[in-house]
Amino acid sequence: MSEESVFVCVDHVGYAVPNLDDAIKLHTEVFGWRLLHRETNEEQGVEEAMLGTGEQLPQNAQVQLLAPLRPDSTIGKWLEKNGGRGGVQQVCYRVDDIEKASQVLRERGVTLLYDSPKTGTGGSRINFAHPKSTGGVLLEIVEPAPGH
């Protein structure tokens, strides 16, 4: 894998939000985004929504809204640290092959949080790079589910 080809594109930007319905309303009614998908991910402790633009071509980045299922979840703790206010919690880069991309990133000194990928939105496979190894940004990598 060449240095240029670890990531395919920016897949989505993730916002931590205190209330999912309010955040969806803001993004659809004020910003004009379109709700594409909504699901609960128990393992990650989130209720989440994915939003896109009109046509939403595969290469167009999405917006992900992440509300906590529990106060002691990752998003719950993030919100608490930020005075209960929402904000950008993560940026997610898409990869074709998450095992290969993880190996390359580890070889280059990036700290991935999970030994093997976990399940993300829409049946995707995900992992995260710790902000301490990425210049301060929580970086998610995602391999979309086949057909997505």
Q: Which residues would be at the binding site for ligand V0V (CB under 6 A)? A: 14, 41, 44, 46, 48, 64, 66, 74-75, 77-78, 81, 89-90, 92, 113, 120-121, 124, 126, 128, 130-131, 136-138, 140
Q: Which is nearer to ligand V0V, 89 or 102 (CB)?
A: 89
Strand partners, 91: 13, 139
Closest CA to 98 of 61, 141, 128, 140: 141
Q: How far apart are CA 117 and CA 120, in angstroms?
A: 9
In whole angstroms, how close is the CB of 14 to ligand V0V at the nearest point?
Answer: 5
In whole angstroms, how close is the CB of 64 to ligand V0V at the nearest point?
Answer: 6
Q: Which is nearer to ligand V0V, 6 or 14 (CB)?
A: 14
Q: CA–CA distance from 34 to each of 53, 61, 119 (Å)?
A: 6, 13, 24
Q: How far apart are CA 77 and CA 103, in angstroms?
A: 29
Instruction: Name the residue with tokens 């210049």.
Output: 135
In whole angstroms, how close is the CB of 94 to ligand V0V at the nearest point?
Answer: 11
Length of the chain, in residues? 148
Q: Which is nearer to ligand V0V, 32 or 87 (CB)?
A: 87
Q: Which is nearer to ligand V0V, 102 or 121 (CB)?
A: 121
Give me the residue whose beta carbon is nearest to ligand V0V.
120
In whole angstroms, how close is the CB of 18 to ligand V0V at the nearest point?
Answer: 14
Q: How far apart are CA 66 and CA 40, in angstroms?
A: 10
Q: Which is nearer to ligand V0V, 1 or 113 (CB)?
A: 113
Q: How far apart are CA 74 and CA 66, in angstroms?
A: 10
